[in-house]
Amino acid sequence: MLYSEKIPLEDFLIQRKSSVEEALNRFCCGKPDDIPPRLWDSMCYSLMAGGKRLRPILCIEAAHAFGSDMKTIMPFALAFEMIHTASLIHDDLPCMDNDSLRRGKPTNHMKFGESLALMAGTSLFLIALEYPLKKCRGEIAQKSLLEALELLLKAAGPSGIHGGQTLDTDLQSQLHETDFVWQIALQKTSCLIQASVLCGATIAGANIEEFKIMSTYSKHLGLAFQIVDDILDIKSEASHLGKTPGKDQKQGKLTFISSFGYERTLQLARKESQRALDEAVKLGLKGLFFKDLAVYLENRTK
């Protein structure tokens, strides 16, 4: 089913989330014989813990916008959720943020122990590359497959979310400049959101101009998403947010709130959301979902 103005966006997102979770459940029910059961249980515990499933949904809808179908794109959509989940497992570890709550449940290391959580996160990073390659070989043109895998690898690697996590947690890597918080947001959050959109567009055969629009759109969408995250960290409760609120402030982290103050941060969230919306409008009907999503995510409460 394609998105239209006749369908409330929230209902559409619930339907898409359900499709992603059905596919994730099939993946988790198909444990390979050579993976230790406890490791697989740890991987799937976090993978099936819920969440918005934003990145796989974006991947699917970008593919749909340019003519591909859900069956073709789903292995890559799941790969983005695997990478996102892996980053959350590592982010919660005692050596990082040392958090006990994620998606409303005990964090992976609280349930399975620190060493197994570390292995589960690393395993999800790696199987996220193996899985779409295995599932899509022969189904997607080799050139498009390699280009999509390159997007996935770059977003997951040291110039992507690993680099962003370094900037966020390693004091010696941090620059005490106002603009530095933007670099953290670009690498820690925006790059994976951007890659999920561009992966779908690449596999579906978007042209150069469409690809450029989607690249700019997803960059600003990702920045807006992180800015709103910083706002929610200080104004939401754990029961609603699904993770420990206020931890950034307690840990003295560099955030948009700490850099710009609350009111200015609200303005920045609106500005980045508007920039994303302006790009989506350029796509006409193809951009309808992305236009409405930019507004929806700016006003989210969790």
Whether 1 is covered by a domain: the verdict is: no
Q: Check: CB of residue 97 under 8 Å from CB of residue 241.
A: no
Residue 49 has pLDDT above 70, yes or no: yes
φ/ψ of residue 104, rounded to 5: 80, 10
What's the pLDDT band for 196 if we cut at 50, 70, 90?
very high
Does 4 reside within a domain?
Answer: no
Q: Is residue 102 part of a domain?
A: yes
Residue labelled with tokens 């998403």 = 225
Distance CA 96, CA 238 (A): 19
Task: Supply the pLDDT for residue 302.
Answer: 80
Specify the CATH number for the domain of residue 29: 1.10.600.10
Residue 2 inside a domain? The answer is: no
Is residue 252 one of the residues assigned to a domain?
Answer: yes
Q: Is residue 100 part of a domain?
A: yes
Q: Greater confidence, 246 or 54?
A: 54
pTM for the full model?
A: 0.94
Each residue's pLDDT tens digit, 109-165: 999 999 999 999 999 999 999 999 999 998 999 999 999 999 999 999 999 999 999
Total number of domains constituting the chain: 1
Which residues, in sequence order, are bridge partners of residue 101?
106
Give the domain extent around 70. 9-298
Q: How does the average pLDDT of the chain come out, rounded? A: 92
Quote the CA–CA distance of 213 and 275 in Å, as a whole number.
11
Q: How far apart are CA 252 and CA 241, in angstroms?
A: 20
**Residue 93 belongs to a domain:** yes
**Interval 225-276: pLDDT, tens:** 999 999 998 875 544 555 565 566 666 678 999 999 999 999 999 999 999 9
Judge whether 105 lies within some domain. Answer: yes
